[in-house]
Chains A and B, each alone.
Chain A
Amino acid sequence: GQNIDQPTEMTATEGAIVQINCTYQTSGFNGLFWYQQHAGEAPTFLSYNVLDGLEEKGRFSSFLSRSKGYSYLLLKELQMKDSASYLCAVVDSNYQLIWGAGTKLIIKP
């Protein structure tokens, strides 16, 4: 079967750096998405990786290793507004999105 694993919950301090990991086993691979979802709101697109390596976008960066079936989202200079759930999703060989259960990130002052 297809599977996406990410930690259920993480806690970090304002101003610090946090890394949210995502591992996957899917039938085929056509890219990996990260979304941010604040409580009671829509998931919003953060990043898309299809090639190995690091993509940087402001305070957020996303890394992919296809050989290891692994990605991470790196958040720098954490702010209170970064408290949210972060969803990892993989595009499989049928171009369907396979979703992880999400990681709830709690930022403390």
Chain B
Amino acid sequence: ETGVTQTPRHLVMGMTNKKSLKCEQHLGHNAMYWYKQSAKKPLELMFVYSLEERVENNSVPSRFSPECPNSSHLFLHLHTLQPEDSALYLCASSQELGGGGSDTQYFGPGTRLTVL
């Protein structure tokens, strides 16, 4: 499944660096999501976009800044991160936001982030 791609796949950064994660979906979907996945924990929803408008921010620290320039692309800008932010960051897309319970989310392979 290559419908959702993410770059880079791996990223190591210092606490003072600024970096960006990129997600692209080729499925013609209208909703896109950023998740954080830490070991042995449930997926944590960070941000939700519908038709390029941010509709949800689950109390994420301001050191994470999302950007959605169009319905196919999603970015996550990172600055002054903490070591506890080290995790797998997953991007997903679905046909519509709130499009009914069966609206399946399709995931990218994730970016493995390590903050030193």
Chain B contact surface mostly: loop
B107 near A101: Cβ-Cβ < 8 Å: no
**Residues in A lying within 8 Å of B, measured CB to CB:** 4, 8, 30-31, 33, 35, 40-45, 48, 50, 87, 89, 91, 95-102
Task: Indicate which residue in B40, B41, B107 contacts A43 across the interface (CB closer than 8 Å).
Answer: B107
A residues near B43, Cβ cutoff 8 Å:
87, 89, 97, 99
Return the contact of B109 from the options A4, A41, A96, A102 (Cβ within 8 A). A41
Please name all residues of chain A whose beta carbon is closer than 8 Å to the beta carbon of B1 when the two chains form the complex: 42, 44
- Cα-based distance from A87 to B112 in the complex (angstroms): 19
Contact A97 B105, CB 8 Å, known A42-B1, A87-B43:
yes
The reply on B66 being an interface residue by CB < 8 A is: no
Interface string of B95-116 (1 = CB under 8 A from A): 0011111111111111010000
What is the minimal beta-carbon distance from A73 to any residue of chain B, in angstroms?
16
Shortest CB distance A32–B (Å): 9
Tell me which residues across on chain A come within 8 A of B90, comparing CB atoms. 42-43
